Structure 1
Amino acid sequence: MTEQVRSVNAFIIALQEQNLLLPQSAAVEVVTQQVVREVPGAPAWMRGVFEWRQAQVPIVSLDTLLGVPPERQTRVNRFVVMHGVERHTGLEYYGLQVRGIPHPVHLTPGDLETESLREEDPPEVAARVRASGVLCIIPAFERIEGRLREVLERL
């Protein structure tokens, strides 16, 4: 009997100092050079909002959440528009600010190695893995969306 191997299509995307691993099913589109409107009173990790498909999409900087100082971050405006996992009203989509262009990969269990979380990792990092030999973080989508919802409700 043949054992069925599970696999997933994913993206490896460069952040400022690390790589991000996202399932392709979570990403809607990659957009660049959008006009970003700052949101007064928002925390530093919320870069603002931009208009996408006639909706205002909030932007999360994982680099800021990961502790990369603003002076070491590039000004590249590239965002991965994500489906909201939790489906909060008004937060169907949000953007993750990224540095690199998504690199598609097809991963099987043999392509993934679990790494230990670092002491300085914020709760928004669900896991660290090696995907096809590349060290990556996997975000805690529910945690990020929960924080975004809290901020948007306050503003």
Structure 2
Amino acid sequence: MSNQQPDSVNCFIISLQEQNLLLPQSVAVEVVTQQVVRSVPGAPAWLRGVFDWRQAQVPIVSLDTLLQVPEERQTRINRFVVLHGVERHAGLEYYGLQVRGIPHPVKLSPADIELEPRREEDPSVIAARVRASGVLCIIPAFEMMEDMLEAGLKGL
């Protein structure tokens, strides 16, 4: 008999303002705090600005803004998860997601994840809603988010 464990994935559950975010650890590079963020004139509201990281300028996406959390309810803490760009757009090797909490590492198997219904107001950058180890989370559509970033930056 085989004692083989079911496939599992190392992930992070990270607090946003009113939601939790589920990210595979493989896309996260680093969590950085208290960076000087420069605004980008003419950028959409969800593009918070850019900051310098490892000799690169990293654009920052606010999922809270995309999820329509009012500005006055958003935390002012500058904490960002730097992600690898999966689409390999020129100039978008890395980008950041503005988050509120500190990433909580979890190891998830298929049995630990339950699909939840999407909400009518969910933007297209939300690929899915899931319950991961009992915690309600959103999973971003990385490709769509990166396409939005590329278009948003080109238009400036």
Residue 4 of structure 1 and its aligned partner are, at CA, apart by 5.2
State the partner residue of 2:75: 74
CA offset digits 1:1-33 (Å, max 9, x no partner): 536511000000000000000000000000000
Q: Secondary structure at the match of 1:100?
A: coil
* Cα distance in 1 between the residues matched to 2:53 and 2:59: 10
Which residues in structure 2 correspond to 1:55-74 (within 5 Å)?
Answer: 55-74=56-75
* Cα distance in 1 between the residues matched to 2:72 and 2:42: 20
State the partner residue of 2:53: 52
Q: Size of the alignment, in residue pairs?
A: 155
Q: Secondary structure at the match of 2:147?
A: helix
* Cα distance in 1 between the residues matched to 2:108 and 2:121: 27
CA offset digits 1:10-58 (Å, max 9, x no partner): 0000000000000000000000000000000000000000000010000
State the partner residue of 1:134: 135
* Cα distance in 1 between the residues matched to 2:10 and 2:41: 37
Identity %: 78
Q: What's the TM-score, normalizing by structure 2?
A: 0.97
CA offset digits 1:87-123 (Å, max 9, x no partner): 1010000000000000000001111000010001000
State the partner residue of 2:97: 96
* Cα distance in 1 between the residues matched to 2:137 and 2:5: 26
The amino acid that maps onto 2:55 is Q
* Cα distance in 2 between the residues matched to 1:55 and 1:130: 35
* Cα distance in 2 between the residues matched to 1:95 and 1:17: 18
Structure 1 vs Structure 2 CA RMSD: 0.8
The amino acid that maps onto 1:136 is C
Unmatched tracts of structure 2, length 5 or more: none
State the partner residue of 2:84: 83
The amino acid that maps onto 2:48 is R
* Cα distance in 1 between the residues matched to 2:48 and 2:41: 10
